[in-house]
Amino acid sequence: MNIMVVGTGYVGLTSGSSFAELGHNVVCVDIDERKINQLRQGIMPFYEPGLQDIVVRNVKERRLFFTTSLSEAIKSASVIFIAVGTPSLPNGSVDLSYVEQVAIQIGKNLIDYKIIVNKSTVPVGTADLVERIIKENMTDKKVSFDMASVPEFLREGSAVKDIFNGDRIVIGANNLEVADILMKLHEKLNIPIQITDIRSAELIKYAANSFLAMKISFINEIANIADGVGADVIEVAKGIGSDKRIGNQFLNAGIGFGGACFPKDVKGLIEIAQKSGRTLPLLEEVIRINDNQYRSVINKLLSVYPDLTGKVITILGLAFKPNTDDMRDAVSISLVRSLFEVDPSLKINVYDPIALEAAKQVIKGNVEYCNSIEEAISNSDAILIVTEWDEIVEFDYKKNINLLNNPVIIDGRNCLDLSGGRIDGFIYRSIGRKPI
């Protein structure tokens, strides 16, 4: 099948190259000329394990092409995926301007029948909006097209793996012919497919992300209670998660969720509710809990050092999660800002295996960017673990204890293995577990 994917961000590039890997002919379109040129040379616009391999292989085997020309790419495509960004506006609502621009371009260049699929996370009703914009911009009003919605459920850092091993594919279509074509497009993936209407598919995406975010805020609240009553949140998560109705995933308590999806999509769903005349206090609370969660790390630091004057603090991990250089809504940003608010005299050393460059654009203040864990912890008074990269989890803290000025670890991800005396000699605090 011939496919055009508009947008070469996480969703567009990963799904486009995966469709090529399945044997389809794919043209990825982006307005960013530099990005397109780099992709043609096999240079990825972001760090994502395994992605470069499939891009390079499929470009070489001439199943995957990159262009800035939507008007050219559209000619041979029978299915068009819209996978451009839908960021949050300052008031929390979803910015659909990129989607609208693409719809205008598709309308202007539509000369024969296509299936047009929204893959970006878009508010319920956006397929109708896109349909209307395309119709308004079509030069030949007799050409027909169908809209569909196939939301993406991949996670950054494991995007390629997720596409080939997803739990389900949701296809929202308004007639069976369209659903059938989209099923054929995905059939080699061998993943259960749910066919539904377009609006339900659009809502499934927001509901799924909001539910997962809710699980995280829930377990973070339980962690805060565990701190108060002397229980262990890891034991509690295990105990509740082994009930299949609850499930054991996304119950890792920590410093809170970040990234381009959960904060934006939970707020997006709240706005969808408001627009339909309802409220979503449950999800408002999910956001409020998350916005405050990083403070528990600062409070634990203050419980060790009531006075932080002149202290050197090391932050290990800056990206919003491991295996990505994505700093969008990363908790490290609020943490650094808040630490300087608590005490402007602090010296803060930071280290991340991949995200240092991206972090320099968004983390403000007198921060020392370090090139290794050893450099970052030298002469430090406390280590704050923010992102559980393997390198940070597996680092031999005990062996390097003498590099530190004071042996203190605040583990914001509950990620260190405490067995076998691995952190002997350290004052250790984590989220919802007894202090050591």
154 near ligand UGA, rule: CB under 6 A: yes
User: Rounded to an integer, what distance in angstroms lies between the CA atom of residue 301 and that of residue 204?
Assistant: 40
β-strand partners of 64: 26
User: Rounded to an integer, what distance in angstroms lies between the CA atom of residue 46 and that of residue 16?
Assistant: 15
Closer of 34 and 168 to ligand UGA (Cβ): 168
Q: Which one of the listed residues 28, 261, 370, 415 is annotated catalytic?
A: 261
User: Rounded to an integer, what distance in angstroms lies between the CA atom of residue 229 and that of residue 238?
Assistant: 18
Binds ligand UGA (CB under 6 A): choice among 63, 155, 360, 422: 155
Closer of 95 and 343 to ligand UGA (Cβ): 95
Q: Which of residues 199-228 bind ligand UGA (CB under 6 A)?
A: 209, 212, 216
Binds ligand UGA (CB under 6 A): choice among 24, 300, 311, 321: 321
For residue 411, CA distances in Å to 148, 254, 382, 386 come to 44, 8, 10, 7
Least distance from ligand UGA to the Cβ atom of residue 206, Å: 9
Least distance from ligand UGA to the Cβ atom of residue 388, Å: 8
User: Which sign, positive or negative, has the C-alpha torsion 299, 338, 47, 13?
Assistant: positive
Write the DSSP assignment of 62-116 as a string of letters.
Answer: TSEEEES-HHHHHHH-SEEEE----PBPTTS-B--HHHHHHHHHHHHH--S-EEE
Closer of 154 and 409 to ligand UGA (Cβ): 154
Q: Which of residues 237-256 bind ligand UGA (CB under 6 A)?
A: 250-252, 254
Candidates 89, 91, 86, 87; CA nearest to 103 is 86
Closer of 30 and 48 to ligand UGA (Cβ): 48
Side chain identity, residue 161: K
Least distance from ligand UGA to the Cβ atom of residue 265, Å: 6
| Six token digits for residue 420 | 């076998």
Active site residue 370: no
| Six token digits for residue 7 | 């947008």
Least distance from ligand UGA to the Cβ atom of residue 418, Å: 19
Candidates 90, 104, 31, 18; CA nearest to 66 is 31
Q: Which of residues 90-129 bind ligand UGA (CB under 6 A)?
A: 121
Binds ligand UGA (CB under 6 A): choice among 257, 395, 397, 426: 257
DSSP state of 420: G
107 φ, ψ (degrees, to nearest 5): -55, -50
233 near ligand UGA, rule: CB under 6 A: no
Closer of 317 and 407 to ligand UGA (Cβ): 317
Side chain identity, residue 20: A
Binds ligand UGA (CB under 6 A): choice among 261, 272, 373, 383: 261
Least distance from ligand UGA to the Cβ atom of residue 25, Å: 25
Q: Which residues are catalytic?
A: 261
Residues that bind ligand UGA (CB under 6 A): 121, 152-156, 209, 212, 216, 250-252, 254, 257-259, 261-262, 320-321
